Amino acid sequence: MINLHAHSLLSDGVLLPTELFRRAAAAGFSAFAITDHVDTVNVEHVVGELTRVCGDLREDIGLVPLPGVEITHVPPRLIQGVLARARALGARVVLVHGESIVEPVVRGTNRAAIEGGADILVHPGLIEEDDVRLAAERGVYLEISTRRGHCYTNGHVAALARKHGARLILNLDLHSPEDFLNEEGLRRVARGAGLSPEEVEQVFRNAEAFVQRVR
């Protein structure tokens, strides 16, 4: 199993990065990214701390630890700059907090994330068809989320991804130990989004290919 979306107490999670990685390894994950929320104020601090802890733990933790960010509630015109800054600082997984229907995300965030070259647009809500088409062209992954609230539009995202050939990633958006799911639970969420068994397998392969590229 692989998860590319999780939060430590460096943003709104409840666990230290070290404990979060250890719990992920114990739960059977082979690769795990901590992607704490950032904006223009804290991106340097978060990426610096996560890069350091991943380097410290890489030989001992029992999985591939990946430092990342989730660019969150940043005005669309600033997203590309924060993306570039996060990568320059060493973030291996760069997410953008999409237009979830349960948060007041500024309209245009989904498009700015895709145009800016995010790795994954997470919980993109009722994403527009043109944006899904552009994500397919640009190779930006769209997230199927296990998190309550954000998961309400999984079916919409999955259907448009299928129509336009956009790649999907299944993520926990984990904030606390209670958010962990086993492989069966992850597969159930993917099937609940309307994915066929073959499409579920492809989602898992997508995560594996991503990790091979960025590790």
Average pLDDT over residues 183-197: 98
What pLDDT, on the 0 to 100 scale, is given for residue 123? 98
Average pLDDT over residues 67-90: 98
Give the CATH number of the domain where residue 135 resides.
Answer: 3.20.20.140
What pLDDT, on the 0 to 100 scale, is given for residue 31? 98
Task: Give per-residue pLDDT as tens, 199-213.
Answer: 999 999 999 999 999
Instruction: Give me the sign of the Cα torsion angle 199, 131, 174, 34.
Output: positive
* Confidence (pTM): 0.98
Task: Give per-residue pLDDT as tens, 8-31.
Answer: 999 999 999 999 999 999 999 999
CB neighbour list of residue 65: distance below 8 Å, 6 or more residues apart: 21, 31, 32, 33, 34, 53, 54, 57, 58
In terms of residue numbers, what domain contains 165? 2-214
Task: Give per-residue pLDDT as tens, 36-60.
Answer: 999 999 999 999 999 999 999 999 9
What pLDDT, on the 0 to 100 scale, is given for residue 186? 98
Burial environment of residue 182 by CB neighbours within 10 A (0 to 12, 13 to 18, 19 or more): exposed
Task: Give per-residue pLDDT as tens, 126-165.
Answer: 999 999 999 999 999 999 999 999 999 999 999 999 999 9
What pLDDT, on the 0 to 100 scale, is given for residue 143? 98
Query: How many folded domains does the chain comprise?
Result: 1
Rounded CA Rg of the chain = 16
